[in-house]
Amino acid sequence: DVKVTQSSRYLVKRTGEKVFLECVQDMDHENMFWYRQDPGLGLRLIYFSYDVKMKEKGDIPEGYSVSREKKERFSLILESASTNQTSMYLCASSTGTQYFGPGTRLLVL
């Protein structure tokens, strides 16, 4: 079975803090994705990566950056957290079908 893990289930941060969300997959997938999910807005793609060291902007990249130093690990970085980044963050990995992690619910105060 594909396993995608995320570093935290719940996270509380203050405005202006730098936030790191980590995602690890164990299936040797090339492709990894970061989404945020908000009520009424559905899943929105932030960034994705098709290979190590490679990254592409999704639909809403502003305020975020990513890092992919190893194939199995894809990190999402909030350079300076703001209250409008309070959300559920979901990581996925894929070879065609996307498999999701459990999600990180981030609250920015």
Partner 1 sequence: EDQVTQSPEALRLQEGESSSLNCSYTVSGLRGLFWYRQDPGKGPEFLFTLYSAGEEKEKERLKATLTKKESFLHITAPKPEDSATYLCAVRDLYDKVIFGPGTSLSVIP
Neighbours of 58 (CB within 10 A): 17
Which burial class, exposed, middle or buried, applies to 90 when counting CB atoms under 10 A from its CB (0-12, 13-18, 19+)?
A: buried
Name the one residue in this structure whose structure tokens are 């703001």. Answer: 82
d(CA 67, CA 69): 6
Count of positions on this chain that bind partner 1 (CB under 8 A): 15
Binding of partner 1 at residue 60 (CB under 8 A)?
no
Among 90, 93, 106, 108, binds partner 1 (CB under 8 A): 90
Check residue 43 for interaction with partner 1 (CB under 8 A). yes
Candidate segments 13-21, 39-47, 65-73, 74-82, binder of partner 1 by CB under 8 A = 39-47
C-alpha span between 51 and 79 (Å, rounded): 23
Q: CB under 8 A: which stretch of 13-21, 60-68, 73-81, 92-100 binds partner 1?
A: 92-100
Q: What residue ranges bind partner 1 (CB under 8 A)?
A: 4, 42-43, 45, 88, 90, 96-103, 105
